[in-house]
Chains A and B, each alone.
Chain A
Amino acid sequence: MIELSQISKSFGRHQVLQNISLHVNTGEVVVILGPSGSGKTTLLRCINYLEKPGSGKIAVGDFQVDCSRARRGDILQLRRKTAMVFQQYNLFRHKTALENVMEALLVVKKLPVVEARRRSTELLEKVGLGNKLDAYPSRLSGGQQQRVGIARALALEPEVILFDEPTSALDPELVGEVLEVIRAIAKEGITMIVVTHEMGFARDVANRVVFMDGGVIVEEGTPDEVFQRPREERTKQFLRRITPEANYVI
């Protein structure tokens, strides 16, 4: 369970997030949509403190942090309960696919090497990269790199996986394979918060869709509610812009 309450964040004088509160149940898949600059990525990055929230509270599982007085230890704790999949994959370039997945298991979870290797191999096989264990990221396609990134996140067995536009940097023909993997793990009941521009995917996989604009949550609801019967004008405008043929009304 994730509970964000009253999260605010400013870059200089520009307020990016204004008192955002969001509740995510265990096993739920929440997709955050919104135009660029709406603060959705910033919100995601506040959850694991890659951006420092100005104020508010973050609770992940049974662990709670008050952002106005978070200490180093708190931040580390918070990060160890979450995992992130990045837009640019951010794999460790000097490590093989297997080593990328093993790294945090060894360094953070302090697992024995044999155990870490076993678990990492399993996960890479699960994302369809059983034959690429020893390949360096420079030898992998974008889609393959992102699947390693997903395996790396899964390995930590986090309370929640944060996806930051996981397919935005991919060539169009590689998007499918990555979405397929995310869809599969969503079915396993792993809690996920996904920032994406893939509307079809959002509609398919999300239990709940959150629409953000201007640093606030404008509207949230089931995919059907948000895509087919949006209540707010800003949501309607946004959906019209990204789906010009208005095919969101099936």
Chain B
Amino acid sequence: MGAPFDIGYIFSFLPKLLETLGVTLLIVAGSLLTGLVAGFLVALPRMYKIPVLRTLSGIYLSFFRGTPILIQLFLFYYGLPEMLKLVGLDLTRAPVMFFVILTYGLHTGAYAAEMIRASVEAVDRGQVEAAYAAGMTPYQAFSRIVLPQALGIAVPVFSNLVIALLKDTSLAFTLGVMEMTGKAQTLGTLTQHFIETYIALALIYLAISFTLERLLLAAEHRLTRHEIRERSGGATWFNLKRRSTYRSLLHNLPDVDTGKGGRI
């Protein structure tokens, strides 16, 4: 395939690919924001068992977790404008990025909803009772007692979510978005050095994933500093194993399945 392998190309492609890093990160950030809002809205009726809304949430979750992201992209990009035309809304001229962020956002929302629900429910109910017994309002009990602990529980799942999202954005090029993977395709076609472009591309994704994971691991340690950790000396940069054992201390921790291989 194409020109003979030349390692020099990898280094010359890196800066060119990094020019489009902003687009990739924009998709990630925009989708995360949309996803967390959507996830929260979807998680609420499931946590409080609100009849009709709960069923709707279930359908939402099934759709976004049960179909490939690529199909979702196509459905939203090509299908949504058609459907909205029926109610007189013209979206045909909306930028592609709008559809991309919307789709990734709603997709992330499905996983975020489960993350939020499971994390809140993992905080032991007795502490809420203790807060109530002391005369706190439900809002005070949630914001001061449940939320800080739920955040710590959510971080590992959130970390998987962000990294999965980062990698998924590589599919946005199918709609013609010039993010990193799209750029790599173009570079490959132009120079015929496909292998080198993809190696450069993989290196960049790897570096970002790795950085994100380290940052979020640090956040997790900070948020769960109240739990006992084993003192393993081997916390080197390449030892990504979580050292915290707080999960074993939580009673009835529900399975937090991200569906993406990450599991508490």
* Chain A residues at the B interface, C-beta cutoff of 8 Å: 48, 50, 76, 79-80, 82-84, 86, 88, 90-96, 103-104, 107-108, 136-139, 152, 156
Tell me the bound Cα distance from A158 to B132 in angstroms: 14
Contact of A94 among B130, B133, B134, B149 (CB under 8 A): B149
Q: List residues of B (127-164) whose CB comes within 8 Å of A's CBs.
A: 127, 129-137, 140, 144-145, 148-149, 152
Contact flags B222-241 to A (C-beta < 8 A → 1, else 0) = 00011110000000000000
* Residue contact B133 to A79, C-beta cutoff 8 Å: yes
Contact of A139 among B129, B140, B152, B228 (CB under 8 A): B228
Chain B nearest CB: distance from A63 CB in Å? 12
Hey, which chain B residues are within 8 Å of A152, CB to CB? Answer: 130, 134
Q: Is B176 an interface residue when CB atoms closer than 8 A count as contact?
A: no
Closest residue to B251 on the A side, CB-wise?
A88
Known A90-B127, A94-B149, A94-B152; contact A50-B132, beta-carbon cutoff 8 A: yes
Known A92-B145, A94-B152; contact A137-B226, beta-carbon cutoff 8 A: yes
Q: List residues of B (96-130) whose CB comes within 8 Å of A's CBs.
A: 124, 126-127, 129-130
Q: Is B50 an interface residue when CB atoms closer than 8 A count as contact?
A: no
Chain B nearest CB: distance from A49 CB in Å? 8
Q: Is B52 an interface residue when CB atoms closer than 8 A count as contact?
A: no
Hey, which chain A residues are within 8 Å of B140, CB to CB? Answer: 107-108
Tell me the bound Cα distance from A122 to B226 in angstroms: 23
* Residue contact B152 to A79, C-beta cutoff 8 Å: no
Q: Is B249 an interface residue when CB atoms closer than 8 A count as contact?
A: yes
Tell me the bound Cα distance from A232 to B246 in angstroms: 49
* Chain B residues at the A interface, C-beta cutoff of 8 Å: 124, 126-127, 129-137, 140, 144-145, 148-149, 152, 225-228, 246, 249
Tell me the bound Cα distance from A48 to B134 in angstroms: 9
* Residue contact B227 to A90, C-beta cutoff 8 Å: no
Contact of A86 among B126, B135, B149, B249 (CB under 8 A): B126
Chain B nearest CB: distance from A152 CB in Å? 7
Hey, which chain A residues are within 8 Å of B136, CB to CB? Answer: 104, 107-108
Tell me the bound Cα distance from A103 to B141 in angstroms: 11
Tell me the bound Cα distance from A90 to B137 in angstroms: 17
Q: Which 8 A-B pairs have the closest CB atoms?
A: A80-B135, A104-B134, A90-B126, A90-B130, A136-B226, A84-B133, A108-B135, A79-B135
